[in-house]
Structure 1
Amino acid sequence: MPLGRRALLAAPALLAVRPAAAESWPARPVRLIVPYAAGGGTDLLARAIAEALRPALPHPVVVENRAGGAGVIGSEVVARAEPDGHTLMAVVSTHVANRYFLASLPYDPIRDFTPVALLSRNTMMLVTGTAQPHADLRAMLDYARRNPGRVGTGSTESLSSFIGQELARRAGVEMPDVQYRSGGQLMNDIVAGHLPVGWTSTASVMPHMPTGRVRVLAASTATRTPFFPEVPTVQEGGIAEFDLSGWVGLYGPAGLPEAVPARLHQALTRAFADPVLQQRFTAMGIEPNLKPAAGLIEAAQREDRLWAAAAAAGTIRKEQ
């Protein structure tokens, strides 16, 4: 339908609103959607950052858990939100991988979101309970080999699921994937002795170490993590060239004004430099890795290439 004269005259004024609004961001509290259950590593990171941002912003950042569907339910909320900077989300790297694992998505993980900042690196840890009959990775794999299908591997999203199944494939053992909604829930079952082993982030593991009922068997990366320097890598356990890790990124809806990520990155830079937040990160087992939007774009593109190659090789398949 052709635009009337009044609409045409009003258009420049409407276009001028968005930059002005971006400069005054935030005009009200910011919703930070965490599309996973409370208590996991991403949730802990988001809440620590939200608190640290209070002195730098005129309105608070309020964390909201919208768990379900491997992060899809909460992510869809953000994809459909108004791109004014008042609805953001913190997601793990499997936000990108979901397109290769799930039968369908209600959004495009790249096109329908605006990258804001890379927040942290996620070294994944293989954990077990101290009551389980395996003291190290080799012993666990030997036990799983003698008991095919009886050693379930806990996971919380596509990355930890892939790591667990890739370890089993390379070691030549059968270890069924046991899916959880969050690292907190997975760790509760590890502590209680209901789950034989599981892969989760350092941040999810750290709060449970004082119980004395958790044993960490291996790190997923090529080098040991500083949070568990005594824990060998999977490579050290005999699986050559095993090097998998993730990240947590901050996104907004597509069309987010450029001024919002720029302003938020400035506030994040100040917050991440605060010794109090640095101490919290260390206590929680979080590996900060703050980078601007360009750094998150690079990480997402690298992740996309990894999963595309795995799909092409047939090592991962979409759900039916």
Structure 2
Amino acid sequence: MNFGRRALLALTLPALAHPAFAQGWPTRPIRLLVPYATGGGTDLLARALAEALRPALPQPVVVENRAGGAGVIGTELVARAEPDGHTLMAVVSTHVANRYFLPALPYDPLRDFTPVALLTRNTMVLAAGTGQPFADLPALLERAKAQPGRIGTGSTESLSSFIGQELARRAKVEMPDVQYRSGGQLMNDIVAGHLPVGWTSTASAMPHMQTGRVHLLAVSTATRTPFFPETPTVQEQGIPDFDLPGWVGLYGPSGLAAPVVERLYQALTRAFEDATLRQRFATMGIEPALGPGTALAAAAEREDKLWAAAAAAGHIQKQQ
């Protein structure tokens, strides 16, 4: 008798859910997929976390980058993986937003994954080269008004793209979206002077702040980030009610057993308490915000409502 994958899962899930299974897990290295290019904030976070998890797990966590399709290529691999706890992924909040930006997704971002943990809060920053002819956000917007469509805003995924276009919409200026595969590539072009400004994570911006060739014009959240406390919010600079944070979450495939999720969260809790990792986070500009899978699920549902409302109001359009 031949069984399909779903039928086999129905037979095996009761066994996987047993606490004894979690005690024997993992039996081989854990793949942690990052569906973005190397060098970006999520990639840096994943690699730091994989190292910090070594003392808490009997098998190593191996980070694997599968960039492409705004994160869809790598994410689909996880959606189709066996829910045995050996394939996980770290994604930014645009994991949810993609359904409102892309023509179609080969998975449902809420139903086809098991939320394991909320990892970090992402404050997005507007970075610019120090050689650009504007030193703050009002000066940038004034120049954009004088030169419609001439100043592009770099982005790496749906959230940073939306932040850039939402700022332009509210300021009534035209600033085309310039898409990059990773925050590392975006920042390299800002440092080189090829890109005037771009929205990226604090983690992507941090390595370049000591060069003297980059400064930050604004943060996307309602409050300033502790990593760059001198950088004002967009709200402080004349755009009211501007508050667009992001997050990074850890997911597994749908059907991941609860005991495995719990053991993973215990390992993460131990890793996040490590002083070395916390110092590394601070150096990289990563804001830890560890929370259980329920916190990640709640954050994803809030994001879904935000993007649905923005789409209904016509503020975002699906790519053709």
Q: TM-score, normalization: structure 1?
A: 0.95
Residue of structure 1 in register with 2:265 after alignment: 265
Q: Report how far residue 132 of structure 1 moved.
A: 0.6
Q: How does 1:130-279 map to 2 (within 5 A)?
A: 130-279=130-279
Q: 2:2 and 2:73 mapped to 1: Cα distance?
A: 38
**1:185-220 Cα deviation digits (max 9, x unpaired):** 000000000001000000000011111100100000
Would you say the 8 A contact 2:16–2:257 is kept in 1? no
Q: Report how far residue 2 of structure 1 moved.
A: 11
Task: For 1:248, give the aligned amino acid.
Answer: V
Q: 1:112 and 1:139 mapped to 2: Cα distance?
A: 45
Q: Report how far residue 22 of structure 1 moved.
A: 2.9
Q: 1:170 and 1:13 mapped to 2: Cα distance?
A: 52
Task: For 2:213, give the aligned amino acid.
Answer: R
Q: Report how far residue 319 of structure 1 moved.
A: 1.2
| Cα 1:14–1:286 shift into 2, 3 Å | closer
Task: For 1:69, give the aligned amino acid.
Answer: G
Would you say the 8 A contact 2:31–2:87 is kept in 1? yes
| Cα 1:17–1:189 shift into 2, 3 Å | closer
Q: Report how far residue 93 of structure 1 moved.
A: 0.3
Q: How does 1:34-183 map to 2 (within 5 A)?
A: 34-183=34-183
Greater Rg over alpha carbons, structure: 1
Q: Report how far residue 13 of structure 1 moved.
A: 8.4
Q: 1:170 and 1:61 mapped to 2: Cα distance?
A: 43
Would you say the 8 A contact 2:92–2:246 is kept in 1? yes
Q: Report how far residue 17 of structure 1 moved.
A: 5.4
Would you say the 8 A contact 1:88–1:250 is kept in 2? yes
**1:45-64 Cα deviation digits (max 9, x unpaired):** 00010000000100000000
Task: For 1:181, give the aligned amino acid.
Answer: R
**1:49-92 Cα deviation digits (max 9, x unpaired):** 00000001000000000000000000001001111000000000
Partner secondary structure for residue 236 of structure 2? coil
| Cα 1:99–1:50 shift into 2, 3 Å | same
Partner secondary structure for residue 210 of structure 1? coil
Q: 2:312 and 2:16 mapped to 1: Cα distance?
A: 45
Any runs of at least 4 consecutive aligned residues in structure 1 with deviations exceeding 2 A, and if so which? 11-23
Q: 1:300 and 1:246 mapped to 2: Cα distance?
A: 10
Q: 1:304 and 1:13 mapped to 2: Cα distance?
A: 31
Would you say the 8 A contact 1:127–1:199 is kept in 2? yes
Q: Report how far residue 118 of structure 1 moved.
A: 0.2
| Cα 1:267–1:149 shift into 2, 3 Å | same
| Cα 1:183–1:261 shift into 2, 3 Å | same
Q: Which runs of no fewer than 5 residues in structure 2 stay unpaired? A: 4-9
Would you say the 8 A contact 1:129–1:193 is kept in 2? yes
Q: Which runs of no fewer than 5 residues in structure 1 stay unpaired? A: 4-10
Percent identity between the aligned chains? 77
| Cα 1:264–1:142 shift into 2, 3 Å | same
Equivalent pairs counted in the alignment come to 313
1:311 aligns with 2:311: yes
Would you say the 8 A contact 2:13–2:255 is kept in 1? no
Partner secondary structure for residue 211 of structure 1? coil
Q: TM-score, normalization: structure 2?
A: 0.95
